Structure 1
Amino acid sequence: MDIDYVIRKDKSPAIIDESSPVDVALYERWERSNRLSVMFIKIKISTVIHGSVDQHEKVRDLLKAIDDQFITSDKTLASTLIMKFSSLRLTNVKGVREYIMKMRDI
């Protein structure tokens, strides 16, 4: 399934009436790869990161926004994560499973 195609290749020119079948196929391949990559990244990143990054249609823009978010707030994020990690106790959570899930998400 070539989902990294969109990262390796630039966007194909838009489809017009004079486009060849090869051009149409390349454009559709790029669009499919872009949609799948954006969807995969949005599913896999933490909700904390997902909420702080703007919505993007292109995977390269999304990756750049995620990268920029970590560059600007590296120390602040580390401090916040340490505080969350140290303040979460098993007694504050209803069960062991929920505690493990919250620790994993931190």
Structure 2
Amino acid sequence: MDFDLALRDNEPAKPTEDTTTEKKNEYEKWNKVNRMALLVIKRSTSDLVRGAIIELDNAKAYLDSIETKFKESEKAETGTLMNTLITTKYLGGGVREHILSMVDAAAKLNALNIKIDDVHLALNSLSLDATIHVTNSLQGYISKKVPNKDEVSKFVGNEATVVVE
């Protein structure tokens, strides 16, 4: 099926008695593809989405109404994700799962064009013990910093410093 015909082109003028056979065939082809596209779209969307969209006979207009509906909900989704990132704290259990859930929320915000540094947010939401565990686990993966000539010591956290060699 040539769904592009129904999704990209506007509906051709309805044929009348004076319309040429070519124009009648063009309209019939567009009408058939449009009905098929609507069936595919409606079958592939969930009942919740389908119930929120007004009933239309044009596949292109139906997709436009879905787009409009979900653009409106981006603000609500942004607020929910921001609230999740700001208020979520590590309460025990798997540190990995907690970090992955925070990174997932940040990635969803990035998809909404809101840039978030997910690593810092995830680490800030952990308790001190969990943060120490994660940073100790990551030490093998962090590249070593070469000290410059003026560095005598380096602050490493927990009010501790290390002499730079």
Q: Relative contact order: is structure 1 or structure 2 higher (C-alpha 8 Å, sep ≥ 6)?
A: 1
Q: Number of paired residues?
A: 80
Q: Secondary structure at the match of 1:73?
A: helix
User: What stretches of structure 1 of length at least 5 have no aligned partner?
Assistant: 81-106
Alpha-carbon shift at residue 38 of structure 1 (Å): 0.8
Residue correspondence of structure 1 range 10-49 to structure 2 within 5 A: 10-49=10-49
1:44-101 C-alpha deviation (Å, 9 max, x unpaired): 0111111111111111211111001111112435788xxxxxxxxxxxxxxxxxxxxx
Higher percent of residues as helix: 1
**Aligned counterpart, 1:85:** none
RMSD of aligned Cα (Å):
1.8
Higher percent of residues as strand: 2
Q: Which has the larger radius of gyration?
A: 2
TM-score (norm 2): 0.44
Q: Percent identity?
A: 24
Q: Secondary structure at the match of 2:3?
A: coil
User: What stretches of structure 2 of length at least 5 have no aligned partner?
Assistant: 81-165
TM-score (norm 1): 0.67
